[in-house]
Structure 1
Amino acid sequence: MTTADREIVISRSISAPRELVFEAFTDIRHLSQWWGPEGFTTTTRTFDFRVGGTWDFVMRGPDGTDYQEWISWTEIAAPERITLRHGEFQDDPNAFESILTFAPDGTSTRLEMRTIFPTKELRDEAAEKYHAVEGGRQTLAKLDAYITEIVSKGAQN
């Protein structure tokens, strides 16, 4: 069964080793610095990075709106792949699956975020109402900028 009509796929090449890019997704001190689209901040309530562990957090939008978020990790294969379920709360029937792959690309890392929604309608709503494609691109751009800053600070030390 194909999932193409239920997917959003976003990728970006980041000029850093994949171990560092992977770590930026798996350590809360990094995640809280860059997670979310432009203008969003993230406040973590709980964070337990392991298969079956959860990240319970609130994203605050530029207009002050709070969005309750919940992630559970279903697969971790460091530093190649992370699979997770993401919804507003545990057991959210509209939760979606994201598969993140970290592929070496010379001295860079090719990061792909493949999100699979339960239905085409939920995918379309995420894309149209919540601007998921642009938001995903902005999130990966923030990650890229954050990692570039870490690398440049490391080079100065």
Structure 2
Amino acid sequence: MDKDRILRTERTLPFSPQAIYDAFASAAVLASWWGPAGFTNSFKVFEFKVGGQWVFTMHGPDGKSYANKSYFSVLDRAQRIVIRHDCPPYFTLTIQFSAVDNGTRLTWEQAFDDIATAQAVKARVGSANEENLDRLTQALSRIADVI
């Protein structure tokens, strides 16, 4: 695959692969952290199963709303999740979890259908994927504090 079509982020999180996987599997938890800083979500359909739909609206801090339609194409428990974003911008998101001594090495890779879209998204969203992982870390920290 052409590397110009791929946006990739990696980070080690101080949580188990199962805990991170569970943060995707729960609609309530996922809605609390999905998206860049300042965004909120309204889920319409959330079927966390292979072939299951995920239809939601992201609400930006600027008051704009962004409709999203995706489906889950791979769910390897605590190892890998593959989500197909089935509306513009078209891409496949692969999230991989690898256990390491201090938690989990998470790899977040968006493969866009074409280079032009990938470059436009990269220029527009900047650090959005990093912010998404910041929010995931915060959500998991809150859950860990409750347990």
Q: What TM-score range do you get, normalising by the shorter chain?
A: over 0.9
1:153 is the counterpart of 2:146: yes
Query: Distance in 1 between the 2:102 and 2:122 partners?
Result: 32
Return the alpha-carbon distance in structure 1 between the equivalents of residues 50 and 146 of structure 2.
32
**How far does the alpha carbon of each residue in 1:30-86 deviate from its partner, in whole angstroms, 9 at most, with x for none?**
101111110000000111011110110000000100000111011111110011111
- What is the deviation of 1:27? 1.1
Deviation at 1:8, TM superposition (A): 0.2
Q: How far did 1:107 drift?
A: 3.6
Which of 74, 91, 96 pairs up with 1:96? Answer: 91
Aligned-partner Cα distance in 2 for 1:109–1:70? 28
Give the unaligned 5+ runs of structure 2: none
SS class of match (2:61):
coil
For residue 147 of structure 1, what is the amino acid of its counterpart? L
Aligned partner of 1:134 in structure 2 is 127
Provide the TM-score with structure 1 as the length reference. Answer: 0.89
Q: Which runs of 5 or more structure 1 residues have no equivalent in the other structure?
A: none
Deviation at 1:95, TM superposition (A): 1.4
Corresponding residue number in structure 1 for 2:47:
48
Divergent runs of 4+, >6 A: none
| TM-score between both structures, scaled by the size of structure 2 | 0.95
Candidates 106, 110, 114, aligned match of 1:115: 110
Identity over aligned pairs, percent: 27
Q: Deviations over 1:70-115 (max 9, x none)?
A: 1101111111001111143xxx5x4101111011011411111111
Please tell me the root mean square deviation across aligned C-alpha atoms, in Å: 1.2
Which residue identity lines up with residue 138 of structure 1 in the other structure?
E
- Which amino acid is the alignment partner of residue 68 of structure 2? E
User: Is 1:125 aligned with 2:124?
Assistant: no
Task: Please say if residues 16 and 151 of structure 1, whose CA atoms lie closer than 8 Å, have aligned partners that are also in contact.
Answer: no
The aligned runs of 1:77-88 (5 Å cut-off) are: 77-88=76-87
Query: Quick one: distance in 2 between partners of 1:135 and 1:48?
Result: 25
